[in-house]
Every structure is written in C-alpha cells, then in structure tokens.
Chains A and B, each alone.
Chain A
Amino acid sequence: MLQGEHITVRYGSFTVVEDLSFHLEEGQWLMLAGPNGAGKSTLIETIAQGTPYTGSIRWKGEDIRSLKPSELARKIGVLAQKNNVGYAYTVEEVVGLGRYAYKSGLFSGRDDDGKAEVEKALEITGLSELRHASMLTLSGGEMQRVFLAQVFAQNPQVLVLDEPANHLDLKYQQHIFSLIREWLKEPGRAVLSVVHDLSLARRYGTHAVLLDHGKTVSQGLIADVMTPENLKQVYGMDVYAWMREMLSQWQEPSQPDAGI
C-alpha cells in the first residue's frame, strides 16, 4: 500500500534520514525502531509532507506528492509526537476536525457520516465524558487520546503514529494498542508507528525497520529485525539481558502480565 523509496532528508548540511526505503502492505503493523536521533520522527513528518525530502513515497504506486492534501488525509492519518493547543477548544471540536478531509465543496459543510465517526472515535478512546471539556484543562494523556480520536475520526486506510503511547498510563496503553490491533483487522488497513518501548513494539508489531543515525540497519519481519545482534549494534548494549532483568522483578508475588 505505502512504499518509500530512497528517502533522504537534509537540514542544511546535516543528513537526518539517508536513502531509506520501506514497504507497508495490507494488514501489517510496521514498527520504526531505533535510538534517539535515528530519524524516526523525521520520517513520520516526511510521510505527512511536512518537511522537504528527496526520493519518493508512493500510495499504491502513485507518488503522494501528486495527491491533494485532503485526498492524502483520507488515505493516511498522522498522529504527531507533540500536540498542544493554544486556545480553549473543546475535545469534540478538535476530534471533529478529523472529518475535515471529507467536507468538500466551497460552502458545503456536508459530511453525512461525520457525526457518527466522531461519536465512535470519542467512545473508543474513552472521551465521551470529556467532550465539552476545554483542551487547556486536559492532562497529557487525555490530550494524547484526543488526537488519537481525531485520527480515528479521520478514518484513513493507513495510520502513521509517532509514539501513540506518549503520556498514556498503563491502562490506556494497553487499551489503545489493542484498539489499533482491532482496527487493523479490517481489510485494506495498515499501521506504521514509532514506538520507543521495545517491548511494546515487539508485542504488537508484525514488521520493523531498525534505524540508526538516519540509516536502515535492518528491516523485515519483527522477529528477524529485533535480534540481539541488531539491537546491540544500534543501542550499544545487550537489550535482551536488560529486558530479562526487568521482567525478573515481576515474578513475585504474582505472575507477570504478558501484555506489558
């Protein structure tokens, strides 16, 4: 569905992403992994057309640069890493903006399934109660859920998420990740996400691209990418041993939760 070819992003003389290619097919959840500064968020911004790049990103063979912004938004829903709001919009207003791409025509605000989609998005993210709350009064996790709800209301075919678990407490982490996995089960859908927590990435991802300093170290099935050798090369430490040590803390008094 979504295909990146030889993507290179430079800020001045500094190369953030170098000659990166990726494939995202229906039903896949592609995890972008790598340490800080690897270029993960930059790649997300590139897909959102928010930064100049060379190379191409194709939607079913068509360069997305030739798509109208609203067409692109109906195909790809992007969640940015940092979201904050300067004015006292209500939760419902922000989520409702997710329907923007469906309101076509000069003066028509027509969007027949808009209301239902917004309603559904509010409900699945647990925001129905807060719909009239001001964005300025929300906590970081609530804010994150609002923007997730906005992406769901946008009803795209591919979700491109930068740290969807940002600011979320455990309950909502699990909730949101399960939600995305459910969402993915419908035909014609795919997910690409940056997930900092390697356990989460490993648990939910089907495929992965491991990045370091803007270059691809490894890509393919998640199990083939997240090998002890690859991770050691990228993170400079024995990730497996560390994870095991962390988990060992949870053996007493009860069984560790497999999901987290």
Chain B
Amino acid sequence: MSKKLVSLFLAMLMVFSMTSVLADDAAVTVTDMYGREITLAEPATRIVALQPSDCEILCAIGCEEALVGIGQYCDYPASITSLPKVQSGKETNIEEILNLNPQVVLMNDMSQSEDQVKQLEDNGVKVVISTTSDIASIYTAIRMIGTLMGKDENAEALIADIQATCDEIRAKTEGNEKSVYFEISPPPYLYSCGSTSFTHELAEICGLKNIFGDQADPWLMISDEQVIERNPDYIILMNGMGAEGIDEIIARDGWGDITAIKDKNIYYDGTSMMTRPGPRLKDAVIELYNFVYGDEAEEVPAA
C-alpha cells in the first residue's frame, strides 16, 4: 500500500518535473495575422522579412542582427540595405530564401500563394504572415514580432511611445476642421486614399479631414473634378514626381482656386513614412503636424 503510494508520488513528481521543464523552455508560440498558430523551439535568431514595414519593426525593437535577408523593396533603415535582397511578391524566390537558411520568413498575404508558403514550410522554414494596413494592425504586428523574437518588452515600449506621440498630437489638434488631399499618383491616373488607409488615420490624428474619407477603398482612382469641388486646405503629395511635383500641381489647369494651392499649403513627402504602415508612423504624425501647425504652434521635436 505505502509502496504503491510512494511509486504514485514518484510518478507524479516525474510528470510534474517534466512539465516544468517544458514550461521553463524558451519555446514561443505566436498567432499570426492570418490566424495560424506557429510555434518555435526558441525565439528566432535568423529571419527573412519580405515586407518593408516588418523590416522597420524588427529594427525598431532592436533585432536588426537577426535579419539575414530582406525583400526587394525594403529600404529603411539604410543600414539594412546591404543585406541580401530577395524577390518578393508573386515571383517570390523560394530558392534564395532557403539558401539564406532562416528559421522564420515574415511575409504579407497579398501576392504570395499558399503553394509558396507550403513549399517553405515543407523545407522547415516557419512562415509568419504579417499584414499591416491601419494603426491597430501595426500594433498587432509589433506585438507579434516582439513575441516571435522574444522581445516583448521592447515591443510594448515601442507601442507606448508611438501611442504617446499620437495622443499628444490628437489632444493639441482637437477641434480643427481643416481638410487634406493625399495624392498617390499624378494625372492621368489620379490616385488618392480612402478611409481604410493608414494615411487617412494619420490625417485624423492631426485633426485633418481626408477629403476622400467617404470612400472605403484604401487606394482609389478619383476624378479631378472632385478634388476641385472638395477644395482641400492642405495637399500632401506622395506621387513619385519628386519635389517638382509641387510646381506641377500648382500649374494644373483649373486647380488654381483650390485653397491649398492658393495658400501654397503643399507638402511633398519624399520618404515612404506616410504611405508605409510601420513604426515610423510616429515620425509621419510629427512631420504632418509640423507641416500643418508649424507656424502657429510650438514644434513637436522629432524623436
């Protein structure tokens, strides 16, 4: 009887100790933004990130060393551009990714096919899907990548920092009624952004009304008549035309009476921070705030 008890106790002890070994292990489990659960034996140390925003998040939480390869369009921060570049998108180069021998590939769900994902996973590479579009999804992505890399505290600190800046500016600009027009592509294919875009939220934080905020699509081809009709107070150009874009928009026939053009309230964004839903959102908000309120309010220093 007591023998039995002792053996039972020992068995229980064993089980307990085993589970405690498992729990104590460095294994990480994340739910990616596609709802899939991915478990790694330990936080990733070799990672390929195909999306520019994911690269920026990795660097912002102090994991730049873990990056072993980047997607072809990744360009920020400048220090990562010397890393091996991999074709991304529809023609994602699986061979090159495998050659870099990463534990994890971070990619979006836009053009990569399920077959490509399967091919990577069959070869022992974990695929984590990260899709950022609005600010909430940026926070989700930062948390997810933080867990993946074992840098949860850094991730939370980053989010808190961004949130603090946003809240500060939101408070300062409360009650502003000015409107803004974002131009992503010049005529004849005039593109702007609607309410589901990250850019729209930027405007909101700075107390600006996106003139195409009544449209749901993130990007849309719009009528030039509508821009004139909606008469924005500010124009933000991200249309790839360089600084000359400002002269070009001023010279457009029929646009002369738009308030933003009359008052020369046109800003050209040569960086990608206002179009890329990533951690530089903080810089973008500051930039936009300084452009709009720079003359009257005290500047918010860029971090």
Touching in the complex, A and B, CB below 8 A? no
